[in-house]
Structure formats: structure tokens, C-alpha cells
Amino acid sequence: MKTHSIAVLTIAAMLLARGATLEAPPPASEGVVHLVMSQVLPSQPGTDVTVITVDYPPGGSTPPHEHPGYTYAYVLRGAVVSQLDGQKPATYKAGEMWTEMPHEHHMVSKNASPSEPARLLVFFLAPHGAPLTTFLAHTPSP
């Protein structure tokens, strides 16, 4: 099974918060995840609220994936191209955001610029303890 950097970094960020160490940096072309906070949503037992930032280097991207809960992504810096399953790609600039439904396929998530970095702030409302990102199996185009 192929391991992808964003999942590894999400786990690594959680481990770092608990005092563990990260052994290797992610590939330079992928987004880098930073855990801001994660806790049980007090008003909704069984649901976690997790906040992360994702830093995309120029031309950086993440592979197709999905999330187990509701996802709210806000562009802090630069511009990000996002394409959800069944929709056309859209470019979001700093100050703009999009939402994703649970298990909605996020087919494209990439920095819109080949020369400038981009940064996202992402809020997840997901089942307690569920992996925040599941990468989709690659299927070749016909």
C-alpha cells in the first residue's frame, strides 16, 4: 500500500504535539500539513473538531482524497485550485473558501501558482478518532 505524505504528516503532527519526532521531510512538491488543534467537540460527543494549515510550495499539490466529515477550507495566502467530484475546477484566492461534504472526493487540490506559495486553513468536523484523510486509489484514464 502506498503511503502519501499528507496522511503521514497529519499523523506526525499529532505525534509531535505529544512529543514524538519526525524523521523525514515530505517531498517538496506536496502540501505540508501543520496541526493547529484537535479536540472533542463538547456539544457533540463522538465528533472531533480539528484545525490544520496546509502549505503548498509553488506548483505543489496533494493527490485525490476524501475526508470522513465536514470540511471547511479557507485560503490564507496565494491561490488554490480545488475540484470536487462531479464539479469543474475552481480557483480560490486569499479570503475565499469552499466546503466539502463527508466522503466527497477531492480530485484536485493544488497551488494555482508555479512561482508563489499558498496556504490553507482547514476545519474538520469528523467522527472521533477517524483518519482525517483517505487517499483515493489511482485509476488510469481510458
Residue 30 is part of a domain; what is its CATH number?
2.60.120.10
- What's the confidence (pLDDT) of residue 27? 56
User: How far does the chain reach from its first CA to its final CA, in angstroms?
Assistant: 23
Each residue's pLDDT tens digit, 61-111: 999 999 999 999 999 999 999 999 989 999 999 999 999 999 999 999 999
Phi, psi of 33 (to 5 degrees): -95, 135
pLDDT of 10 higher than 60: no
Whole-angstrom distance, CA of residue 120 vs CA of residue 33? 9
In a domain, 45, yes or no: yes
- Assess if residue 140 is contained within a domain: no
38/15 Cα distance (integer angstroms): 12
In a domain, 138, yes or no: no
Within 13 A of 18's CA, how many CA atoms are on the CB side?
7
Enter the pTM of the model.
Answer: 0.77
The verdict on residue 42 lying in a domain is yes
Query: Would residue 93 count as lying in a domain?
Result: yes
The domain total for the chain is 1
142 located within any domain: no
pLDDT at site 138: 61
Residue 57, domain extent: 5-133
Task: Kindly state whether residue 108 falls inside one of the protein's structural domains.
Answer: yes
Let me know if residue 57 belongs to a domain: yes
Cβ atoms of 51 and 123 within 8 Å: the answer is yes
